[in-house]
A and B are shown apart, each in its own frame.
Chain A
Amino acid sequence: MPPVLELKGITKRFPGVLANDHINLTLNEGEVLALLGENGAGKSTLMNVLYGLYTPEEGEIYVRGKKADIHGPNDAIALGIGMVHQHFMLVPVLTVAENVMLGMESVKHGFVLDREDAATKVRAISEKYGLEVDPNDLVGELPVGLQQRVEIIKLLYRSADILILDEPTAVLTPQEVEGLFEVVRSLVAQGKSVVFITHKLKEVLALADRVSVLRGGKVVGHADPKTSTERDLASLMVGREVILTVPKEPAQPKDVVLKVENLEVMGDRHRMAVRGISFEVRSGEIVGVAGVQGNGQTELVEALTGLRPVVNGKITLDGRDITHETPRVITETGSAHIPEDRQRDGLVLGYPIADNLILNTYYLPPIASGLVMHANVIAERAERLVEEYDVRTPSITTPAGNLSGGNQQKVIVARELSREVKLVIAAQPTRGLDVGSIEYIHSQLVRKRDEGAAVLVVSAELDEVLGLADRIMVMFEGEIMGIVPAEQATKENIGLLMAGVHPEAGKEAA
């Protein structure tokens, strides 16, 4: 039997870039093929070629042994190929069933939408593949994990049997990732074939039947997840040995830089999100905040950086009360902030890199004197930082929105860590990034610590907190479950704290 999908010699050029260089790829029926590669390796380009969004210069695509001519998503769908993009394409104000039938609506009496019929079909698909979701829920009110299910149901509704999932776990919490894996397993068990695009090594090992690794637009190797280790895959992907643990000396904490006392912060839904917590961060140490997302970490960071009002309690930065100060005063007191949502808060995507590098210092000398900004100073600074922080970009005038996620984050890191600061607050600093960028950003945070800054890292990735922090503070429902020194922390005891359970060992006064 021929493979369900075969790509032969696919080549796609963009001005100045060879995004795909004679790529060959095979997908067999009923298997999960992981397409592993760093950001910019050409994974998404390849899948967009397959989906008809790009036309390749060379190469052929065979679907079930037959040569396919794909000129757009409609052709791809007709061939049974479906794709879930990183950014979902759903209408938030419509229900699940309405979203699913959008474009191929069920109708009765000629023109009346038949929501019942669509809902029934959605329910049938849900049950068959274990994709639990209520067809009558409004999509905008669903958590991200369920929205993703709706995207998958959309494809199944259109009878897709080759499913492409583009970085599907980038937006999910660990629990949601596990749920997605179960869905994928159930899909392949019933004869569907899945291409799983990712740069996360653990996921590949947990889910894939076969792995193809892309680097610099080429297939550089294949691997069998049963016999490979994370380290093998990482070096294949990056092209050199990769250090998966963060190399650092023991911390030498000195004076208290950030002091938080009985802090209470209101969440978006008029629910207290941070409930009277107290902690300190000292100069020369990294405190990691672990916890399942949505347990008050976001609100805590916003309160510390002046973006959200404090209801009760006190925040002291370097001896100064900043409880009710503006973001500007807090920044000037010596705080750097790597925000959780880099595209929403951290960057102006339409601005050139150079302008993004001065986002919170644009008014200070030597960048500006009075009202006048100095373009040459801004440009020189940008050239220096791009070089120093290894931002991969054609030029400093490239809009930030054109960069890959990793390079966007490097722009923020360069801006925040190149300043003289006493406190660094990094929220989800490596979310969605590839191994190379993660390694780099971690080393920069450690460097800042060793230079004497106090560092607070908030992350939903337990591995990141365990690898980076000198002390680990676990948040659960707005409270601190415990603060554990790194040498006593294990996945198990932190995991229990994250779940709201107090293990007797590792418990410490908050």
Chain B
Amino acid sequence: MSTQEQKATSQLESLARALLIPLLAVFTALVIGALLIIVTDDSVIAAFREGLGAGLSRSWSVIALAYGAFFTGAFGDVYHITETLRITTPYIFAGLAVALGFQGGLFNIGAEGQYFIGGLTTVYVGYSITGLPMIIHLPLALLAGMIGGGVWAGIVGFLKAKTGAHEVINTIMMNYIAIRLAEFLLDVGGPMARPGYRPVSPEIQPSAYLPQFFPSDPTIRFNVGFILALIAAIFIWWLLFKTTLGYEIRTVGQNPNAARYAGINVSKVIIVTMFISGTLAGLAASADILGVIHFMPNAFSAGYGFDAIALALLGNSHPAGVVLASLLFGALRAGATNMQGIAHIPVDITSILQGLIIIFIAAPAIIRAIYRLRGLEEGERLKLTRGWGQ
């Protein structure tokens, strides 16, 4: 075997190893979810009163119905697959935002607020400018979302770089400001609200729409935003691992002292990292507004900003990992919606499944214990013996 092939094989092996725990985590979460579905189902309980056999058979059919609906909802047909991908799109952007921050040693809890501000700027450019061709208007609206989110996060980066103020506190505070600001602007009669009695912005111009993949079928909302998200993921991977700026971001993230020693302007890198992180969160909002809803409602959030933290953790702060994690969350959400419609299982089950998956991935020892996987390497365990001092 040539060295190149060896390298490829070992890369494949490490990929398989990297995927093993997440896959088992998902599987385990689904099993626990099934138990939850059974114990909360009245008909199952009634069947168990009749006898064990009846109970088990009823359990089986309830789970089959629920998870059947779940999987059809995520992957059943063109509509459901595209719906999964549509939900995945903002997840990728928001997950990348938090992942980039992590790579730079920054905990951007403010993706939610940056999403709101990016939504406001993108929608404003979308509805207020008229008469432009799409080729100019659409990029302009996307750019507006990026700048809105980027500036909002950049402020936090600036405060951290210049005063040492912790980004966790400040991003949380900026979230409140952003959400209340959006409420004020979009409330009935507010500066950005449309005439009438709905607290929503005006419709954006069609020239700012992200093109649909199935324009003939209006129920399918899958659009070019997904491709943009994939391009963003590739771009962020390239930026992080192939450019000098990425090297600076990662160095500051892993060892700010060494970064200073290396002549890297740590303050500048912190501000730039936060700015780029914010542009990605802003793009999540742009994708939703320009690609799907075409206006901005007062109650805009779908919790992307906070799910994004889970996505970044799940994806190990790597762009490819974030894309996979986003696909998973997209499928969970799309599936759960269908499960609610058909099997009448509350959509909240996704929150439970997501929570379980994250716990299992954050504490892989649980999964290793359940499936009797090889324990920690001795080298890993040794880290415990490293204290402070020196």
Mark A residues whose CB is within 8 Å of B: 14, 48, 53-54, 85, 87-90, 92, 144, 147, 171, 305, 307, 326-329, 331-332, 337, 339, 341, 344-351, 355, 359-360, 362-363, 368, 371-373, 375
Contact = CB atoms under 8 A, between A and B. Distances in A.
Interface string B352-390: 000000000000000000000000001101100111111
A348 B261 contact: no
Interface stretch (B117-125, B166-174, B176-184, B239-247): B239-247
Interface string B246-289: 01101100110110111111000000000000000000000000
B388 A360 contact: no
A88 B390 CA distance: 8
27 contacts: A53-B381, A53-B382, A54-B378, A87-B390, A89-B385, A90-B388, A144-B389, A171-B389, A327-B260, A345-B257, A345-B261, A348-B254, A348-B258, A350-B254, A351-B250, A351-B254, A359-B251, A360-B261, A360-B263, A362-B244, A362-B247, A362-B262, A368-B243, A371-B243, A372-B244, A373-B247, A375-B242
Nearest to A148: B389
The 9 closest A-B pairs by CB, nearest first: A328-B263, A88-B389, A89-B387, A360-B262, A327-B263, A345-B261, A359-B262, A363-B244, A371-B243
Given A54-B378, A359-B251, A307 B261 contact: yes
Contacts of A351: 250-251, 254
B387 A307 contact: no
A373 B378 CA distance: 35
Contacts of B262: 327, 359-360, 362
A359 B244 contact: no
A90 B387 contact: yes
A107 B247 CA distance: 52
A243 B257 CA distance: 35
- The B interface, classified by DSSP as helix, strand, loop or mixed, is helix
Nearest to A432: B390
A87 B258 contact: no
B26 to A, nearest CB: 28
B387 A371 contact: no
Contacts of B244: 362-363, 368, 371-373
Given A348-B251, A371-B243, A171 B390 contact: yes
B389 A327 contact: no
Given A53-B378, A359-B258, A373-B242, 16 more contacts: A87-B385, A87-B389, A87-B390, A144-B390, A326-B263, A327-B260, A327-B263, A337-B261, A339-B261, A341-B390, A345-B258, A346-B258, A347-B255, A348-B254, A350-B254, A372-B243
Contacts of A85: 385, 387
Given A349-B255, A373-B247, A87 B388 contact: yes
B263 A331 contact: yes
A398 to B, nearest CB: 12
Contacts of A344: 255, 257-258
Nearest to A356: B258
Contacts of A14: 378-379
B128 to A, nearest CB: 34
Contacts of B260: 307, 327, 345
A371 to B, nearest CB: 5
Contacts of A53: 378, 381-382, 385
A508 B60 CA distance: 94
A347 B257 CA distance: 9
A371 B241 CA distance: 11
Contacts of B265: 326, 328
A347 B379 CA distance: 20
A348 B255 contact: yes
Contacts of A362: 244, 247-248, 262
A185 B241 CA distance: 54
Contacts of A329: 263
A347 B261 CA distance: 9
A355 B378 CA distance: 26
Nearest to A88: B389
Nearest to B242: A373
B309 to A, nearest CB: 21
Contacts of B389: 87-90, 144, 147, 171
Contacts of B255: 344, 347-349
Contacts of B248: 362
A349 B390 CA distance: 16
Contacts of A348: 250-251, 254-255, 258
A89 B389 CA distance: 8
A375 B242 CA distance: 8
A291 to B, nearest CB: 20
A128 to B, nearest CB: 25
A360 B254 CA distance: 15
Interface in B281-315: none
B298 to A, nearest CB: 41
B247 A355 contact: yes
A417 to B, nearest CB: 16
B234 to A, nearest CB: 15
A465 B176 CA distance: 59
